[in-house]
Amino acid sequence: MEAPRDGVERLHHFVTARRRALGISRTQMFTRGGPSPSTMNKALTGDRGLSRSTLDRIDRALGWAPGSAQAVMSGGTPTSHIPAQSDEACPAHEHVVTVLESTRTQLRGALQLVEDLLGTGHGR
């Protein structure tokens, strides 16, 4: 499905795609610092406007660079946020590690499916 041109519908499209890519629910998005599921629902259905704070929380929860949610609503695309290296534990860094681990799990599953479909599984 093609993304809407702009506005809350465009944001909804990108938020949904990103959540699916990360393998997270709206509740899990909330635990990552995002808006509550009810706030997201009200905002994405137009029952409630999107405050700057809500947009910032969307960016943070989805690992987007600051300002990405606002840019999406204006017709742009989100930018991933990769934190700078540091010796101290960083919530953003932990988020990146979580995303990478999720991606690795999904890739392993996809590889197994391809091997099964092609009959080239391990030990054959």
pLDDT tens-digit series, residues 12-27: 899 999 998 888 888 9
List of long-range contacts for 8-12, beta carbons under 8 Å, 24+ apart: 8/43, 8/44, 8/46, 8/50, 8/73, 10/72, 10/73, 10/75, 11/44, 11/50, 11/58, 11/69, 11/72, 11/73, 12/44
Q: What is the pLDDT of residue 81?
A: 74
CB 102 within 8 A of CB 19: no
pTM above 0.75, yes or no: no
Residue 15: count of CB within 10 angstroms of its CB: 24
pLDDT digits (tens, 9 = 90+) for 64-107: 999 999 999 999 999 887 655 444 556 656 777 778 878 888 89
